[in-house]
A and B are shown apart, each in its own frame.
Chain A
């Protein structure tokens, strides 16, 4: 596609449930990033991939969060046992290389009731 796409656009779930958020990067972009944007805040880094491997996952808040990119393209952010504090917009970005400009998707708004 022309830009980074994310699905779903909005996700409402109940506390304790498992959710998956998907990111489709720009074709050919080798680097992929996940950020979390809480209400009234700027985006905060979670994890990035170069190819299939997670190059830096230091931003993941705890072990309930996990992300994969098995074929070096689409990535899935997985959250287990969701908590109300996980409610936020989750943004994905991709770039041609690690030092390239990052292009952002429209985000997934996650609401945990």
Chain B
């Protein structure tokens, strides 16, 4: 069975600074996707970034980038130039491309961006 672990329940960062959120996972699958979702108080899950396991290049989306270490089963999210609107819960999620077809989520990291 797959598991996703987020070991940082809460983090804070000053506006305009950089912060890194950690995620580790465990799986025996070889083909899968990893995601970071943002969940503001509105409850809406918003996709931040995704990474295909077969791609060695780390995904980037504007101020968001990942450090994907497949052998170590690590998938961290870096937010650069943090903005007040980045304040939210962040969830790491795993999705195997065969068999289960369901997302496995971590317990989340509450990020607060300070003015």
**Among listed A65-73, A74-82, A96-104, interface-contacting one:** A96-104
Q: Is the interface of B mostly helix, strand, loop or mixed?
A: loop
Minimal Cβ-Cβ distance residue in A for B6:
A42
Given A107-B43, A109-B43, answer yes or no on A42-B91 (Cβ-Cβ < 8 Å). Answer: yes
Q: Are B105's CB and A106's CB within 8 A?
A: no
Contact B101 A106 (CB under 8 A): no
Which residues in B have their C-beta under 8 angstroms from that of A110?
Answer: none
* Residue from B4, B43, B44 having most chain A Cβ neighbours under 10 A: B43
Q: Which residues of B contact A99 (CB under 8 A)?
A: 97, 101
Q: Which of B43, B45, B102, B107 is most buried by chain A, counting CB atoms within 10 A of its CB?
A: B102
> In the bound complex, how far is the Cα of B47 from the Cα of A91, in angstroms?
15
Chain B interface extent, by class: 20 to 34
Q: Mark B89-106, 1 if CB is under 8 A from A, else 0.
A: 001010001001111111
In angstroms, Cα B97 to Cα A59, docked, is 18
B43 touches A106 (CB 8 A): yes
Contact A98 B101, beta carbon cutoff 8 Å: yes
* Chain B residues whose CB sits within 8 angstroms of the CB of A48 once the complex forms: 101-102
User: B residues near A, CB below 8 A?
Assistant: 4, 37, 42-45, 47, 50, 91, 93, 97, 100-108
| Given A42-B105, A43-B91, 4 further pairs, Cβ under 8 A | A33-B102, A43-B45, A43-B105, A56-B101
* 11 A-B interface contacts by CB (under 8 A): A41-B108, A42-B4, A42-B105, A42-B107, A44-B105, A55-B101, A56-B101, A56-B102, A101-B50, A104-B45, A105-B44
